[in-house]
Amino acid sequence: MITAGKAANAAGLALLLVVGNVGAQQGADSGSALFVPNTPNVKLLSHIPLGRSQTIAGLTMDQDITRPYVYVSRMQDVNSPAGFTLISVKDPSHAKIIYRYNIANPELHRGFGGMEGKTFVYHGRNYYVQGFQFDAGSPDADLGAIVFDVTGLPDTSKIKEVGRILAPNSAVSLGTNPQCGGTAGCSLPGGFHNVFPYRHSDGRTIMFTTTLTGTYASIYDMGKFLAGAPDKGYIGRVPVPGATGRYHDFVVEYDPITHQDKFYGGAQPGGYFVFDVTKPETPKLLTSITVAPGAVFSSFGRGHTVTPTPDGRYVVTETEYQYSPLRIFDLKPGLEGKVATISEPIGAWAANWKHLAHNHEVRWPYVFVSAYEDGMQVFNMLDPTNPVTVGYYRTYDGPTMAGVTQVARPDTAEVSLRAGSGSVLNGAWGIAVRNADGLIVISDITTGFWALHMDGFDGWNGHDWGMPNISTVQDWVNGPEGAPKLPAAVAPRAKARAAKKAP
């Protein structure tokens, strides 16, 4: 684990020095004579091809090092059913597939299939949620997610489906303007595009979900869901202000400084919105990032991924179009009420200006990025106005502009600006970082699963960097750091339940 104080700063300096000429390499296209596959401080641990290109989507990883499992979402294809692939990283240098779940009757299904999944822990049992998206007219067009009990791993025979959450009427054909992200007449699959389980400061385990056709994120109490509630535990929703579009991605993190549970969502169109969800039944808008008050169409008005720093002051954002950098915004003026909306970034980063970065994880001061054609990238944002690349590993080594093109889909920002010539939507899609030991895992749309390690990064705790120990990682037993303690009669019972061994 990285130690505190000077040792931590020295480790960061070492990472910057070891790749001193990275900046000169950033302009290299994959396939060009200048292509450099990786920096020497990022080491390959293992790689598993997972089959046909364009069938591999996001991934998530158990943070408990005693549960060394990675779940890779699988998209729908004629020869590759939607579902998920389960990988053991007990020995990260020899990762192996141990299980594959396929949706029933795959030949009847059309649509994206499995896009994103997440894990959570409740009453000492471990669960995995797989989100699905299928077209109108297909079986399961309204299927949002399937929840699996995976407590019994590594015995895969004990994996059990415990329930499903539906998203009624979410698949549309010739949809309305808000459903289509500002362009009427689109056809979009139903189901959940993303899910995010969260250990709330009030002790509940809740889950946020989004569809591509709603103008809000729905919230479910997973305790009630597991108890068999007829409404699946539905407790409310976080709206897109003005119902301008739909949430694409989001995270929820606790702010120990203001003692608020905060929702950070990217809306298409709309921008980025921060809500106080301390009382999730009644979310309150705190601030927004748009081009101007009331305006939603702009280069960063089509929000995608958004991730805050541990102190909640800055956010790293992504918009899904070619040539777009990751933009960094300072939320302070908006949170203090000094501006109606935040309209200018304070910094930006790109691996290659010709391409596009995708998802990212913030482990201050580092940001780990799944950067499509540019593979796994890491930059340091200790100075948010001047982020610096500190390492990368190119998981994708195919031709550029060979991704799926969606130029016929004006309802989504996921387009290439070179109509008819393919797109940059290929390569590293999903990324996860294990805080216990710094293990980095990547899902690549074409090349499959990768496990990596960056020299000097052997784990993460925010305190080592003078920050709250807050990230997308959840403490399912104790709750978020800095949150009010549960009543004495409640906390011991929660810990006792979590300590029970799987049957």
Cβ neighbours of residue 141 closer than 8 Å, sequence gap 6 or more: 111, 134, 135, 170, 171, 189, 190, 191
pLDDT confidence of residue 181:
62
pLDDT confidence of residue 84:
98
Cβ neighbours of residue 378 closer than 8 Å, sequence gap 6 or more: 42, 366, 367, 368, 369, 389, 390, 391, 392, 454
Task: Work out the pLDDT band at 1, boundaries 50, 70, 90.
Answer: very low
Task: Work out the pLDDT band at 414, boundaries 50, 70, 90.
Answer: very low
Strands 42-48 and 376-380: unpaired
Start-end of H helices in 44-170: none
Please, what sign has the CA dihedral across residues 85, 70, 451, 88? Answer: negative
Q: What is the CATH number of the domain that holds 116?
A: 2.130.10.10
| DSSP letter (8 states) at residue 403 | B
pLDDT confidence of residue 3:
38
pLDDT confidence of residue 411:
38
Mean pLDDT, rounded, for 256-263: 96
Question: By residue range, what is the domain housing residue 254?
Answer: 6-499
Between 226 and 300, name the one with better pLDDT: 226
β-strand partners of 147: 129, 163
Cβ neighbours of residue 456 closer than 8 Å, sequence gap 6 or more: 2, 11, 12, 14, 15, 41
Between 356 and 442, name the one with better pLDDT: 442
pLDDT confidence of residue 182:
64
110 part of a folded domain = yes
Opening angle at CA 260, ends 256 and 262, nearest 5? 105
On whether the CB atoms of residues 180 and 115 are closer than 8 A, the answer is no
Mean pLDDT, rounded, for 144-161: 98
Distance CA 187, CA 173 (A): 4
Read off the pLDDT of residues 163-221 as tens digits, 9 standing for 90 and up: 999 999 999 887 776 777 666 777 889 999 999 999 999 999 999 999 998 999 999 99
pLDDT confidence of residue 292:
52
Mean pLDDT, rounded, for 243-260: 92
Distance CA 218, CA 233 (A): 11
38-52, 210-224, 267-281, 415-429: segment of lowest average pLDDT? 415-429
Judge whether residue 11 has pLDDT over 80: no
pLDDT confidence of residue 145:
98
Percentage above 70 pLDDT, the chain: 83
Task: Work out the pLDDT band at 54, boundaries 50, 70, 90.
Answer: confident
Percentage above 90 pLDDT, the chain: 68
- The total number of structural domains in the chain stands at 1
Mean pLDDT, rounded, for 391-406: 81
On whether the CB atoms of residues 80 and 74 are closer than 8 A, the answer is yes
Distance CA 69, CA 53 (A): 23
pLDDT confidence of residue 415:
39
Judge whether residue 28 has pLDDT over 60: no
129-133, 149-153, 424-428, 455-459: segment of lowest average pLDDT? 424-428
pLDDT confidence of residue 412:
39
Between 23 and 62, name the one with better pLDDT: 62
Q: H or E segment at 317?
A: strand 314-317
CA neighbours closer than 13 Å in the CB half-sphere of residue 240? 33
1 part of a folded domain = no
Distance CA 188, CA 174 (A): 9
Written as six digits, the tokens of 306 are: 């958004």
Mean pLDDT, rounded, for 1-5: 39
Question: What is the pTM for the complete model shown?
Answer: 0.88
Mean pLDDT over all residues of the chain?
Answer: 86
314 part of a folded domain = yes
Helix, strand, or coil here: 334?
Answer: helix
pLDDT confidence of residue 188:
87
